[in-house]
Amino acid sequence: MGKDLYETSAQAKSMFDKADDILGFRITDIMFSGTEDDLRQTRVTQPAIFLHSVAKATIPGDGFKPEMVAGHSLGEFSALVAAKAISFEDGLVLVAKRALAMQKACEKQTSTMAAIIGLEDSVIEKVCAEIEEVVVPANFNCPGQVVISGSVKGIDLAIGKLTSLGAKRAIKLVVGGAFHSPLMEPAKLELEQAIDLTKFQAPVCPIYQNVNAQPSTEPAKIKANLKLQLTSPVMWTQTVQNMIADGASSFTEVGPGNVLQGLIKKINRDIAVQGA
């Protein structure tokens, strides 16, 4: 993972080497030659994806000059660095602290998430609100695809009700816990302190943030929105729709994989998408 960048770009190599120093362990060894299980460790997964994404976005000569940026959940931190709202070093520190804080929150209560396919967002929101257990919409990924998050009992109840209402599929996800739900409150409080200590500056372009799908350019507002991210849903459908309404004509996904390209095409089939 990312080895080609390390071997072909001096700037990327510098970032990877710096990441080893900042994190206090050789994440490059795990990314380049570790097993999938090694990569799935919480302390590794989030920094690895962040590092790969930011390195690709900052390689000279690739012409990466976005007019607006957005990121899905963890990707919001990569987007902040790409837009120069925070430094690479500060972003990596925040991501590492975020990963560990989320892991601790997951260990406090067994929880999970599930993907619901083929129902209106409003139906899913209504069902979640009616269940007395903790269960909330967590990711509005694209029309007809919403991820819910909460206690195991809450997720099971929601899956039963949503299936009876006509969901085409309701699939429990293999995740560590209930991300983007009230059960992440301990992690939110821990991350808030780190965000407060981080220097933010005006980005070079608007960043559309997860919590409200609106463009932000003011450092204070960006910080405030970022603090809410862990316990709030990712408004990805609304984000992409707003970016298109504000003039976006093509999207470039930066980082490993192509999941966001697929989601964007489901949100608007006529828009151009590509990978970096």
CATH of 111-172, one of 3.30.70.250, 1.10.3210.10, 1.10.600.10, 3.40.50.1100: 3.30.70.250
Predicted local distance difference test score (pLDDT) of residue 63: 65
Domain with CATH 3.30.70.250 in the chain: 111-172
Quote the pLDDT of residue 60. Answer: 61
CATH top-level class for 3-106+182-236?
Answer: alpha beta
Given this model, what pLDDT does residue 61 score? Answer: 59
Q: What is the pLDDT of residue 58?
A: 79
Number of H helices, E strands in the chain: 13, 9
Give the full edge-to-edge strand order of the sheet including 169-172.
Answer: 135-142, 145-151, 111-117, 169-172
Tell me the two tokens of residue 22: 């900042």
180 is catalytic: yes
pLDDT attached to residue 235: 98
Q: What is the pLDDT of residue 78?
A: 96
What own/partner pairs with CB < 8 Å and gap ≥ 24 does 118-125 have?
118/144, 118/166, 118/167, 118/168, 118/169, 119/144, 119/146, 119/162, 119/165, 119/166, 119/167, 119/168, 121/146, 121/237, 123/162, 123/165, 124/148, 124/162
* Catalytic one of 52, 180, 181, 232: 180
Catalytic, 149? Answer no
Q: Where in the chain is the domain with CATH 3.40.366.10?
A: 3-106+182-236
Q: What is the mean pLDDT of each run of 10 residues along the chain (276 residues)?
A: 89 93 94 90 90 86 82 97 96 96 91 97 97 97 97 97 96 92 95 95 97 97 97 98 97 91 96 90
Q: Specify the DSSP element, H or E, that contains 114.
A: strand 111-117
- Give the separation between CA 134 and CA 157, rounded to whole angstroms: 10
